[in-house]
Amino acid sequence: MSAGSVRVYADYECDFSEDVDVVVVGSGPAGAVTAKELTDAGLRVALIEEGPPFTPQDFEIDGAISMARTMREGGLRMTQGTVMPTMQGIALGGGSLVNSAICNKAPDFVLDDWCEKFDLENTTLADLDPHYDAVGEFLGIAPTPEKVQGRRNLLFKQGCDALGYSSEPVLRNVKGCRGSGECFTGCRTRAKQSMDVSYVPAAIRRGALVLTSARVESILNDGSKATGVAGRVVAPFTGRASHRFRINARAVVLAAGCMATPVLLEKSGKLANRSGQVGENLQFHPGVAIMGVFPEDVHPAFGATQGYQSKNFLRDGYKLETLWAPPSVLAVRLPGSGMAFKNRLADFARSAIWDAIATCNRSLGRVRTRSRSMTPSLVWRLHPEDVRILTRALWTLSEIFFAAGAKSVVSGVNGIPDEFFSLDEARMLTEHPLRDRDLVLGGNHAFCTTRMHGNPARGVVDEYGRCHDLRNLYITDTGIFPQCPSVNPMWTAMALAHRSAAHISAEL
């Protein structure tokens, strides 16, 4: 098979069309895996991405400018209802370009729950394991090595050990990490195996046509089957539309992300929505973070971005992680103003920030389509019971901080003191009645807006990602998760996409 090619914004000079076997919309983890596996199967594939490819020279180290360039809505996308920021990448490689490369298999009890509640027959851990392994081998997924953990991560281990909580080095899709802590602004060391440096080049080697700066605006169909996609070329960063394109295909795969895919279906004449579930059931892993201040320097800028984690409390609804990000982004979570705020920032060199992500199956929302835009409107509410999970997680993080030797913790929670100097004081986190609006939340990972269900009346796709309503239309992004997976979803999304690709190539 001859090598494929990439087109970037400056390459487009007129309207165009292409004929392929399969068109894949979205080059994030799910889309990139799907495209590569389908090209491996000998199919002609077009992979379409709205964002541009980033080279290391295009990365911005500064947090805000980087977000403005690599994230949808400049990184300022918010939910309504419970106000919470949530970030989605817009770049070749999707979110993998700017995430911290955490790879976790969904726990067996979660997948068993999915099978039972959503009439799925082949989605247990044993079913998915071969697909997890294939992806893991390709990306070199491995535990974060000790030499790049840095003190910030190792203090977490030390605290967990002291309390008898299990913890482990984070498994990541990284080869040759140097501990720059720059995962969120693009890996300048090229160690992170984001999709743009791993699966996408592999797909191109096998013949894929990759169209970047190309925004799909509708799915073409004849009522019974999808026939391709149509859209416009858009300028990087400004989104200014120019040439039109059309890709004719025997099958269409949507991997645009669980917020963009429902909009695309809606804009295509309410496609694949006989169940009424498109855009519904929006779930997140809401996250909270807390800063611990230690007596000595922690040197937080050195070390893997998120090198350690604890799954000790997964069944209680939360997972704990270490965290680093551009300092400006981390500082946003701290309380105060004026001199008190400034002096708190001065503690940065002696601080570590750790976070928790929560399983919030009760906290639901929806993705709505705006009439003149492809930008979704998000409504979501944090359930009061899930507020309790998050405050419990903050308490546990405080426990670990004090066990690791912190002299204080700074929670940033409204309505209670800014800083606790002992575990006794921190008890207020669980004893004081708190509401969603008292927490500084981050909307990590989003799911379920085109959920899989064995019953076509209750879900959009089957467990292979095939739409119940249109047999040659597939969805492989995290929208197909029936519930949040309790751990970072990237590896599971890729494993499901790997399985879907095998299914699609068999069908074609």
Site residues for other proteins, 337-366, by CB under 8 A, read: 337-339, 341-343, 345-346, 348-349
From the list 53, 159, 169, 262, which residue makes contact with other proteins (rule: CB under 8 A)?
A: 53
From the list 35, 200, 211, 473, which residue makes contact with other proteins (rule: CB under 8 A)?
A: 200
Choice between 75 and 317, CB closer to other proteins = 75
How many Cβ atoms sit within 10 Å of the Cβ of residue 167? 22
Q: Is 379 in the site for other proteins (CB under 8 A)?
A: no
Smallest distance from other proteins to CB 47, Å: 12
From the list 177, 357, 410, 426, which residue makes contact with other proteins (rule: CB under 8 A)?
A: 177
Q: Which residues of 455-488 are buried (b: 16+ CB within 10 A; e: fewer)?
A: eeeebbbbbbbbbbbbebbbbbbbbbbbbbbbbb
In sequence order, what are the beta bridge partners of 409? 292, 420
Applying CB under 8 A, the span of 64-72, 222-230, 421-429, 495-503 interacting with other proteins comes to 64-72
Q: Is 371 in the site for other proteins (CB under 8 A)?
A: no
Q: How many residues bind other proteins (CB under 8 A)?
A: 74
The candidate with the shortest Cα–Cα distance to 41, out of 19, 18, 21, is 21
Smallest distance from other proteins to CB 342, Å: 5
In whole angstroms, give the CA distance from residue 371 to residue 440. Answer: 31
Smallest distance from other proteins to CB 20, Å: 19
Q: Is 240 in the site for other proteins (CB under 8 A)?
A: no
From the list 42, 108, 122, 190, which residue makes contact with other proteins (rule: CB under 8 A)?
A: 190
SS3 55: coil
Applying CB under 8 A, the span of 181-189, 219-227, 269-277, 396-404 interacting with other proteins comes to 181-189
Q: Which of residues 381-420 bind other proteins (CB under 8 A)?
A: 414
From the list 175, 243, 246, 362, which residue makes contact with other proteins (rule: CB under 8 A)?
A: 175
Long-range contacts of 197-201 (CB under 8 A, 24+ apart): 197/93, 198/32, 198/138, 198/139, 198/173, 199/29, 199/32, 199/33, 199/35, 199/36, 199/138, 199/139, 200/27, 200/32, 200/35, 200/36, 200/47, 200/92, 200/93
Q: CA torsion angle for 181, 185, 191, 196 (degrees, to 10)? A: 160
Smallest distance from other proteins to CB 275, Å: 32
Smallest distance from other proteins to CB 502, Å: 25
Smallest distance from other proteins to CB 136, Å: 18
User: To which H or E segment does residue 201 belong?
Assistant: helix 199-205
**Count of residues making up the chain:** 508
In whole angstroms, give the CA distance from residue 495 to residue 508. Answer: 20
SS3 183: helix
In whole angstroms, give the CA distance from residue 335 to residue 357. Answer: 20
Bin 46: left if φ > 0, else alpha if -120 < ψ < 50, else beta.
beta
Q: Is 92 in the site for other proteins (CB under 8 A)?
A: yes
In whole angstroms, give the CA distance from residue 210 to residue 11. Answer: 12
Applying CB under 8 A, the span of 101-109, 196-204, 270-278, 279-287 interacting with other proteins comes to 196-204
Smallest distance from other proteins to CB 39, Å: 15
From the list 36, 44, 69, 466, which residue makes contact with other proteins (rule: CB under 8 A)?
A: 69
In whole angstroms, give the CA distance from residue 427 to residue 429. Answer: 5
What type of residue is 298?
A: V
Applying CB under 8 A, the span of 123-131, 334-342, 455-463, 485-493 interacting with other proteins comes to 334-342
Q: Which of residues 471-500 bind other proteins (CB under 8 A)?
A: none
Q: Is 61 in the site for other proteins (CB under 8 A)?
A: yes
Q: Is 16 in the site for other proteins (CB under 8 A)?
A: no
Q: Is 300 in the site for other proteins (CB under 8 A)?
A: yes
From the list 42, 56, 130, 276, which residue makes contact with other proteins (rule: CB under 8 A)?
A: 56
Q: Which of residues 108-147 bind other proteins (CB under 8 A)?
A: 147
Joined tokens for residue 405: 């030797």
In sequence order, what are the beta bridge partners of 214? 233
Q: Is the dihedral of CA 83, 336, 444, 105 positive or negative?
A: negative
Choice between 107 and 335, CB closer to other proteins = 335
Q: Is 31 in the site for other proteins (CB under 8 A)?
A: no
